[in-house]
């Protein structure tokens, strides 16, 4: 049981390049999330998917797109990377919120640098 896995672990991009961050979970969770973590700012929600087939914007969605490929996989795409997108990106999953505690399990993160 690997939990939440993310690829790649590290990535360096040039301004304007595109890339996709991959996330997969093997816990049969319904909900999945993408966050970014910047120094002094905690974690901020980029996009989330409450269930397979749905996606919604979070606090900081500009410059990103997401795809819920199936129940297991949720990818984050940067179409034209900017230096402001240099950050650590975390994927998380949970059974479902639905009026109860939203116990989220996190992946190890992807450290992205945009030059």
Partner 1 sequence: GEDVEQSLFLSVREGDSSVINCTYTDSSSTYLYWYKQEPGAGLQLLTYIFSNMDMKQDQRLTVLLNKKDKHLSLRIADTQTGDSAIYFCAESNRNTGFQKLVFGTGTRLLVSP
Q: Is the dihedral of CA 26, 72, 33, 66 positive or negative?
A: positive
CA distance 85 to 83: 5
Contact string 36-75 vs partner 1 (x = CB under 8 A): ----xxxxxx--x-x-------x-----------------
From 4, 13, 21, 112, residue interacting with partner 1 (rule: CB under 8 A): 4
Contact 34, 47 (CB under 8 A): yes
Residue 102 in the binding site for partner 1 (CB under 8 A): yes
Residue ranges in contact with partner 1 by CB under 8 A? 4, 31, 33, 40-45, 48, 50, 58, 90, 92, 97-109
């Amino acid at each position: 049981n690997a939990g939440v896995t993310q690829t790649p672990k590290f990535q360096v991009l040039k301004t304007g390049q595109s890339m996709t961050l991959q996330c997969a979970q093997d816990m049969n969770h319904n909900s999945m999330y993408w966050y970014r973590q910047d120094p002094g700012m905690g974690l901020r929600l980029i996009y989330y998917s409450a269930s397979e087939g749905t996606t919604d914007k979070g606090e900081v969605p500009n410059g990103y797109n997401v795809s819920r490929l199936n129940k297991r996989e949720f990818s984050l795409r940067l179409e034209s990377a900017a230096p402001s997108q240099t950050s650590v990106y975390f994927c998380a999953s949970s059974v479902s919120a639905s009026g109860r505690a939203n116990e989220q399990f996190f992946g190890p993160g992807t450290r992205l640098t945009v030059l």
